[in-house]
Amino acid sequence: MESADTRSGRGGPRRRGPVATGAFTARVRYNQWMTSPLVSVAWLAEHLDDPGVVVADVRWYLQGARGADAYAAGHVPGAAFVDLDAELASPPGPGRPGRHPLPAAGQISALLSRLGAGQGTVVVAYDDAGGGIAARLWWLLRYFGHGGGRVLDGGIQAWRAAGLPLETAVRPRPPAPPLPLTPRPEMVVDRQRVAVLARSPDAVVLDARAAERFEGRSEPVDARPGHVPGARSAPFGENLVAPGGSFRSPEELARRYGALGATAARSVVAYCGSGVTACHDLLALAIAGREDALLYEGSWSDWARDPSLPAALGPA
């Protein structure tokens, strides 16, 4: 069984025969094929009608536009819209960390059921932000023990650039039986743990926000500007070859995170504004070969609202 070369523009695995039917056959086939958290446009175009693949449109915007409107205007054929706020996060509130607390297992189980995704299904997420939102779904599936999460490299822009069609119709799949999911709390840290790791010579804390937010020159949404003292600036956009484009190669990403100290550190933590685009840095680290990096769930929205915690300004 051949494995997929999932870099955009390099195509993907060719079928040796008819699409397999039956959940077990499909699960074996896809698990052997999928060796990267990314899939290319060519791979997805070939496998849109495969029973073991579902597609999730997770476009979302911090201010102004709505992902649901972008989806309604045109999406990858057969894709289902996934709402970041309602389905990939719990409601924020007292006692919950940040603007996008992690969802409960039941929320993700219900989402997978709605998508028609079983344990062996490949769930391909895409957005129009270079994977900055789609990576949240990929990470959550790992967190809840479902190994099928993938991100479309280059997102909907790459799909359009390849001359592939969009549709406006909604085509729901038959729901799948809900899966019993169990979170992996060892993949997450809170503000107390981050405060310790940020001072440790054996750890690296990465901030995935844009440089102007890290340095405190701009803060459009959270309680105060700045960054966790000791954190290093690692804007998620620099994981890409161009804004909103495809991921850099594993070798380039390894060099990037090596320069930040993240390949040699004993512990690596990523955060952003609310725990969403930090998953993009975690995805890039996984592509580069480091799969044990941790997420600061509440991220800056959690840290900044605690006045007892210091905030650093300026470059790292």
CA distance 278 to 264: 19
CA distance 135 to 145: 15
Helices (H), 121-245: 134-143, 155-161, 191-197, 211-214
CA distance 100 to 181: 20
Angle of helix 250-259 relative to helix 278-287, nearest 10 degrees?
120
> Six-digit token pair at 309?
């915690």
| Inter-CA distances, 302 with 7, 48, 191, 274, 306, Å | 35, 39, 8, 8, 7
Determine whether 272 is an active site residue: yes
Cβ neighbours of 176 (radius 10 Å): 18
CA dihedral 98, 100, 105, 110 (to 10 degrees): 160
Considering 41, 54, 272, 311, which one is annotated as catalytic? 272
Buried b (16+ CB within 10 A) or exposed e, 264-292: ebebbbbbbbbbbbbbbbbbbbbbbebee
Q: Known catalytic residues?
A: 272
